[in-house]
Structure 1
């Protein structure tokens, strides 16, 4: 029997592993910066398996006769998607955090197994945990000199050569010099000589630079070593350096070739160096330790300041949201007419939405691949439409679209679930939609004391769903960057940490978050309502201590045909009316003709 493409690639990998004397190999979705979204050159797991999600890991044992001989690990967001995209004959499906590569290897790797890993793609914590699991069965984890996937991936793309771009201070709201001074003060306060900054969005924020090296995230592939004297070394490919970049960075930032990064680490011999274990790969720890540096594990000092947006960034985001809201509203108006005809596909809808965003001005990229899900595809939380999977939007069905744009003044992210007419939605769909809406409103209206974490608020978004015996398998809210990553820490709104950092971070004024409860009925439909929100101080007469609340930043009508008004309280109806009055105020002046009339009808009282 002839092998399919992914079966042939798996077979080639096993031959490569056998030639290297390895009993197995671990492949994560990651790059040298532990990014969530990675460049095409680093999409090794997708190339090997066909999986298109943004989080996952594969373990391959060299012996194809082993049972099981390979497994793919994904979280609850991708439970359906992984089964659609990855051949179950080749890979066992494993869910995290219930399972993990370490647990699986401990149970399934042969006794004394030598399992390879790429130390430039895994964190030190993962390496330690997995190494201990293998040792329990006499095995060992071994760092490979070069990635075996790269040896068999003949047409692997090269890293992007695009130039790094200057992000002006009038958009950043603060100079790079001021940010580096903050890092310098932090280092001095902890008696440290330097810190290694590896997260691409941290580098972009610290130096006020952007780039086009990673699709959907405006960053430039690089590393930074920031020092206690306020200077920094930037390691970046020479073809990416422009005269404008040199002038912008000035004399305090030394620009070096990207391949000088390891020697740059080795030059820190005898120094006390801070490294963030959540953002730095294990290879960096090993190079520093072997060079004789004292490695101190500390959170990247840019992470929290980056998350707390200054007034310029906050206003920039409001401006970006106003344009984006007009684009999405125009799309929903278009869809209200075209959708019921039964000719719109998931792909054509996503393309049309992108065209509306481009027409509204200054769109640099989407902030992630649009989740355009019709009917059963909407039940896949992080569905990624392709020409092969694209469904036609059927009359009298649910359509979910989760999308966003990258603008120089802000990053947007919005989900709307709409009913494709001309008929009326059924009682169950309206019930589930309204319970999701109630959770969305409850979180929007939350008032909470200083020190409250996202995990403490998460129940507000789920309460109405839990009353009906249903839930959703993803977090309720993630941080959002300022013309940076659409998923930004350390803040999150989720049930618990669940293996992901952030739920224990207190919410602080200036932080952006998403508010996106949902409900998904496998094989039938999916519902999610998402706005972005800003943590802000909340004045309360007689309050004992500081209290905060949320400003809603996204302004697009919510589907009124899916609302069961009998389930809403008076306060919830008042929220609905106030929200849509604000939508009309922000978006109305940007529309005209039929689109404006549609908007006015959508924003009318329930």
Structure 2
């Protein structure tokens, strides 16, 4: 029986029409002609507590990114390329018209859809500064007005809305964090002084967790304590957190480095601390409400990146060691799972759910599993063509011949993992074999790439796509995202994508996960986590960097068309599998060891 994931159907599209009708009535009472419903909370979290899942409650859409706009006569829901199939399955498309978030952004839709004089409402607690600016510009072009609301009208009709979370906060031991909270605060304050910034305010709960070496349980799959922080360039920081989450011991420990205040006292604290001062706010993360509070307190908002984000992204030696240990432990569990899968899948009795349960069980056998880092994507047949598919009891498919995709991760106190393998079950078609090999070529290209210091993920992204471009296809998600240290499995600012502009630095952890998706048929993704490291190249004229692969688990060689691989690619795969075998063999059972020997046998 699983502990950290549910397979209950959480999407209820049939409820959408009645809920939208109730919302429209509420908007009319308030003199509003429409309302914006983002998939976010005050912290802009990827995983929101149930009390903040307004988009899912209203529309039925359960993805991690999206936004709905409800007008008096029509409504639209905007999602990116990961969710174009899923959204049509989860929402009532007679009520919400699905639209592509990138190809037709909400602002462009508003420009041509809003009537002159219309009043579009939004919740300033849920939209970032940048988002509000884009919405306001769109409304102005349409001759309409963007109107902030004090009380969210969705909450007014959500009769059984869950209570906010109150999970206990725990200290993250310095042996795992690698640096004391006091030292981190000193480093941050030095950066603020250097940049002539009087203070930084963050609503990013990940930033607070990292800076103050705390962890919690307010959201699923990420050990977050929902909180906010104000850090001055000199003097004592303030952590805003519900005091009911703090034991006396934890409060006493934290009080050595910071003041602790209830979130309800934020306005009063800001009034006392920021008057006449410059306060850095990240406009992509900080919601408009907090910018308003700073300005109301007499502070001057300076828009710019949150310096904590980049500090957190570069893992120190203790965090890197923890990541390696976590991946070895996770790799042994994954080998146990793969050996089980190869033994049982051909019998035709396994399903997507039973497979996800088996993998979680293998991880729980480590005795130190804290959580999954996200709900397991266990996908057979056409379900694998949905990049962020979530199996439910209603969608559960049997494991049948072809390709099976499983994307999963774990939270251990010393590290966060994320791995995807696409596995052959019986025979695969020539097309499957070709596309699998091209995805593998892209994966190897990223694993082997060498790049100059200062290069960003946008400069590497095409390496993962080149083999797919050769045959006229591509994938609609980034090649890689940043990963935290016992924090979020999706961490910025580093990433490998067309939009990845942050220079990569040694110590950053990212995923390497090219894919291919044929709607209605099958999907492929191969993912390892990698660590940026400095590399020595003989005769190099500038500092160079590359990747250390952290993830250790066999990559299925059965679907490979070896003729499409270069000698260098074959050598990389054989060397990777030799390392997997050498590291993991002592950690698995004898029968699993025999399987591992076969699974990692050289192909060249």
Task: Give the TM-score band, short-chain normalised.
Answer: over 0.9
Q: How is 1:207-606 mapped onto 2 (pairs within 5 angstroms)?
A: 207-267=212-272, 268-394=274-400, 396-421=401-426, 424-494=427-497, 496-497=498-499, 503-606=500-603
SS at structure 2 position matched to 1:303 = helix
Q: Could you say what the CA RMSD is over the residues aligned between the two structures, in angstroms?
A: 1.2
Separation in 2 of the partners of 1:221 and 1:101?
Answer: 28
- CA-to-aligned-CA distance 1:506-549 (integer Å, 9 cap, x gap): 11111101000000000000000000001101011221110111
CA contact (8 A) 1:123 1:281 kept: yes
- Secondary structure of the 1:11 match is helix
CA distance in 2, matches of 1:527, 1:516: 10
CA drift at 1:341: 1.8
Q: Which residue of 2 aligns with 1:104?
A: 109
Instruction: Compute the displacement of 1:562 (Å).
Output: 0.7
TM-score of the superposed pair, with normalisation by structure 2? 0.96
CA contact under 8 A between 1:184 and 1:227: conserved in structure 2? Answer: yes
Per-residue CA distance 1:555-580 (angstroms, 9 max, x = gap): 00011111111111111111111000
Whole-angstrom CA distance in 1 between matches of 2:453 and 2:428 = 42
Contact residue 166 and residue 244 of structure 1 kept, 8 A: no
Unaligned runs of 5+ in 1: 498-502
State the shift of 1:470 in Å.
1.1
Distance 1:574 1:4, change over 3 A: closer
Equivalent position of 2:157 in the other structure: 152
Could you list the per-position Cα deviations for residues 6-35 of structure 1 after superposition, in whole angstroms to 9, with x for gaps in the alignment? 221111111111111110000011010111
SS in 2 for 1:360: coil
Separation (CA, whole Å) in 1 of partners of 2:162 and 2:583: 43
- Equivalent of residue 39 in structure 1, options 49, 67, 81: 49
Give the superposition deviation at 1:230. Answer: 4.3
CA distance in 2, matches of 1:247, 1:584: 47
1:470-499, CA deviations, whole angstroms, 9 ceiling, x for partnerless residues? 1100000111000011111111111x22xx
8 Å CA contact 1:350–1:372 kept in 2: the answer is: yes
Partner SS state of residue 365, structure 2: helix
Q: Distance in 2 between matches of 1:161 and 1:127?
A: 29
**8 Å CA contact 1:331, 1:352 repeated in 2:** yes
Conserved? CA contact 1:72–1:91, under 8 Å: yes
Among 45, 59, 69, which residue is 2:69 paired with? Answer: 59
Matched, 1:80 2:85: yes
SS in 2 for 1:116: strand
Contact 1:364/1:406, CA 8 A, preserved across alignment: yes
Q: Does structure 1 residue 16 correspond to structure 2 residue 26? A: yes
Alpha-carbon distance in structure 2 between the residues aligned to 1:4 and 1:293: 47
Using the TM superposition, give the Cα deviation of residue 593 of structure 1 relative to its aligned residue in structure 2, in angstroms. Answer: 2.4
Q: 2:282 touches 2:306 (CA, 8 Å); kept in 1?
A: yes
Residue 99 of structure 2 corresponds to residue 94 of structure 1:
yes
Alpha-carbon contact 1:425-1:561 (below 8 Å) kept: no
* Displacement over 6 Å in runs of 4+: none
1:327-354 Cα distance to aligned partner (Å, 9 max, x none): 1111111111211222211112111111
1:166 paired residue number: 171
Residue 468 of structure 1, CA deviation = 1.2
Gaps of 5+ in 2: 1-12
Match of 2:7 in 1: none
CA distance in 1, matches of 2:430, 2:169: 52
Cα 1:25/1:450, change in 2 over 3 Å: same
Q: Distance in 1 between matches of 2:117 and 2:460?
A: 46
1:292 Cα deviation (Å)?
Answer: 1.7
CA distance in 1, matches of 2:297, 2:255: 29
Please say if residues 117 and 145 of structure 2, whose CA atoms lie closer than 8 Å, have aligned partners that are also in contact. yes
Structure 1, 131-140 or 209-218: larger mean CA deviation:
131-140
Distance across 2 between alignment mates of 1:184 and 1:19 = 48
Structure 1 residue 420: Cα displacement: 1.5
Q: Deviation at 1:449?
A: 0.9
* TM-score, length-scaled by structure 1: 0.96
1:262-312 deviation per Cα after TM superposition (whole angstroms, max 9, x unaligned): 322333222221111121001111121122211111211111111010011
CA distance in 1, matches of 2:433, 2:68: 39
Q: CA deviation at 1:400?
A: 0.4
> Helix, strand or coil for the counterpart of 1:561?
coil
Match in the other structure for 1:500:
none
